């Protein structure tokens, strides 16, 4: 699911200027003896600091690799689902192009991705990336993409409100029963205070239903990817909990059909106790919504069974030459995959420019690479890292699951289910899940 904000202030991307050039160059610059690659997800001009970092990193890469020219394209967002397939089908995609984790199999299925398997042996950082993230871009035993970032969902909570409600801010709720109990106490503070908020519009309600279902040990579709599994005890538990908090406890407030900006505004203004999110929401709450780092903490997903993960990476055009693939892999290594340096990992540079350093994610690497990355991050931390320790500790035992296939279509169906439960006291949960299951089966059958 597309979220607001992605690592520091950056959420950016690329669209080509078709009047000037096609996105994919698909050739080497033989006149200069250089290999030319087009790439996307360059921060837009409006994001001045991030764009300057990106440009400086490309310049450093080209100086180090004088035989490679990198042409970056920018726009917003990094990938527009409305135009993504059209660009692929029209041969207008960059040589090295940004994708969400959920895009990987689709791009391979429509035969638009280059097989990187023969080339990753030259990518020195590849084996240091978390295996579960590498697996996302591996289809039928072949490697088609390289992860760039990863996130997992957790519970953001307001330490100040916890303390004011007589709760221990160092012991966040670990179960959904505890979430409900804590939310009730926070809402009892009055003055418009909401204990727990959730999304229920613009597909975001379906996204969070999925995360909550994972946390209960459930799933949206079965292992075959052809059958819905929402009409289950776990699915029922998710909706019953939301219904009870909304109607029995009145801990979710009377205003519903909320989306991410509404909930962020509530949290930033100090009127919300808890909501589900990834760590990258925290700087948005501070920089854009009036929050304070010392009050914002992060816990693992309640329930203890699983959490939704997401993220992004780069894939390569099937038209790329071997030289372009090798050049693109070198560029990814330099920009994103060297611990403690590059566009996302130069923590000293980020701190100097007042960007938050010390958030628990993204956490891309394993072993010695992860240790180095975390060491450099810790040395430059400018946010209260102790507020996120529960998230770091608890996440290690959770099962990590990516979004379901046909995610946006499925989320649209589940949106209606969540919104019904939060806006109709007499909503029939069993019927809602039964109807949703049938609709999702239809979506999966269409592919």
Q: Average pLDDT, stretch 134-160?
A: 96
pLDDT at residue 217 greater than cutoff 50: yes
In the prediction, which pLDDT does 420 show? 98
Q: Average pLDDT, stretch 14-26?
A: 37
pTM summary value = 0.83
pLDDT at residue 88 greater than cutoff 80: yes
Task: Report the alpha-carbon distance of residue 211 to residue 151 in Å, rounded.
Answer: 13
Q: What kind of fold does domain 154-277+406-446 have according to CATH?
A: D-Maltodextrin-Binding Protein; domain 2 (3.40.190)
**What are the structure tokens assigned to 315, written together?**
């894939």
Q: Give the confidence band of 29 by pLDDT, cuts at 50, 70, 90.
A: low
Q: Average pLDDT, stretch 91-104?
A: 93
For the segment 430-441, what is each residue's pLDDT rounded down to a tens digit? 999 999 999 999
Task: Report the alpha-carbon distance of residue 28 to residue 193 in Å, rounded.
Answer: 60
E strands within 197-322? 272-277, 296-300, 306-316
For the segment 317-331, what is each residue's pLDDT rounded down to a tens digit? 999 999 999 999 999
Helix (H/G/I), strand (E/B), else coil: 113: strand
Q: Give the confidence band of 406 by pLDDT, cuts at 50, 70, 90.
A: confident
| CATH number for region 35-151+311-379 | 3.40.190.10
Q: Average pLDDT, stretch 103-128?
A: 94
Any idea which of 33-42, 71-80, 155-164, 165-174 has the lowest mean pLDDT?
A: 71-80
Residues 245/253, Cβ–Cβ less than 8 Å: no
Q: Give the confidence band of 14 by pLDDT, cuts at 50, 70, 90.
A: very low
Burial (CB count within 10 angstroms: exposed 0-12, middle 13-18, buried 19+), residue 210: buried
Give ∠ CA 5-39-345 in degrees, rounded to 5: 50
Instruction: Tell me the domain boundaries of the chain.
Output: 35-151+311-379, 154-277+406-446
Residues 411/203, Cβ–Cβ less than 8 Å: yes
Q: Average pLDDT, stretch 162-178?
A: 97
Does 35-151+311-379 match 154-277+406-446 in CATH topology?
Answer: yes
**What are the structure tokens assigned to 359, written together?**
């958030």
């Amino acid at each position: 699911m597309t979220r607001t904000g992605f690592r520091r202030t950056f959420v950016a991307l690329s669209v080509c200027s078709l009047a000037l050039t096609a996105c994919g160059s698909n050739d080497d610059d033989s006149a200069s003896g250089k290999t030319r690659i087009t790439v996307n997800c360059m921060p837009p001009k409006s994001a001045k600091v991030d764009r300057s970092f990106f440009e400086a990193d490309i310049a450093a890469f080209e100086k180090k690799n004088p035989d490679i020219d990198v042409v970056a394209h920018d726009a917003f967002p990094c990938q527009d689902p409305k135009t993504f397939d059209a660009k692929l089908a029209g041969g207008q995609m960059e040589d090295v192009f940004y994708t969400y984790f959920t895009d990987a199999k689709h791009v391979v299925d429509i035969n638009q991705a280059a097989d990187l398997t023969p080339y990753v042996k030259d990518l020195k950082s590849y084996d240091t990336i978390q295996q579960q993230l590498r697996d996302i871009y591996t289809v039928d035993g072949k490697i088609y993409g390289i992860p760039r970032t990863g996130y997992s969902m957790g519970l953001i909570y307001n330490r100040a409100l916890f303390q004011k409600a007589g709760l221990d801010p160092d012991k966040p709720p670990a179960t959904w029963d505890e979430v409900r109990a804590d939310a009730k106490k926070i809402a009892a503070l009055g003055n418009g205070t909401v204990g727990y908020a959730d999304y229920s519009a613009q597909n975001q309600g379906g996204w969070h239903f999925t995360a909550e279902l994972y946390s209960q040990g459930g799933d949206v579709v079965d292992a075959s990817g052809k059958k819905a599994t929402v009409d289950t005890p776990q699915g029922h538990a998710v909706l019953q909990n939301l219904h009870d908090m909304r109607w029995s406890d009145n801990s979710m407030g009377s205003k519903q059909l909320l989306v991410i900006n509404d909930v962020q505004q509530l949290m930033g203004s100090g009127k919300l106790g808890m909501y589900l999110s990834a760590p990258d929401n925290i700087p948005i709450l501070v920089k854009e919504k009036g929050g304070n780092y010392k009050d914002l903490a992060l816990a693992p997903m309640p329930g203890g069974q699983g959490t939704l993960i997401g993220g992004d990476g780069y894939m390569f055009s099937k038209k790329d030459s071997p030289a372009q693939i090798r050049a693109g892999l070198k560029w990814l290594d330099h920009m994103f995959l060297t611990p403690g340096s590059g566009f996302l990992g130069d923590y000293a540079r980020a701190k100097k420019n007042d960007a938050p350093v010390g958030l628990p994610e993204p956490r891309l690497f394993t072993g010695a690479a992860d240790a180095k990355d975390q060491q450099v991050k810790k040395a430059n931390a400018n946010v209260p890292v102790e507020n996120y320790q529960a998230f770091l500790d608890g996440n290690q035992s959770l099962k990590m699951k990516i979004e379901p296939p046909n995610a946006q279509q499925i989320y649209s169906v589940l949106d209606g289910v969540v919104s019904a439960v939060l806006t109709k006291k007499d909503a029939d949960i069993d019927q809602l899940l039964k109807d949703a299951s049938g609709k999702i089966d239809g979506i999966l059958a269409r592919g």
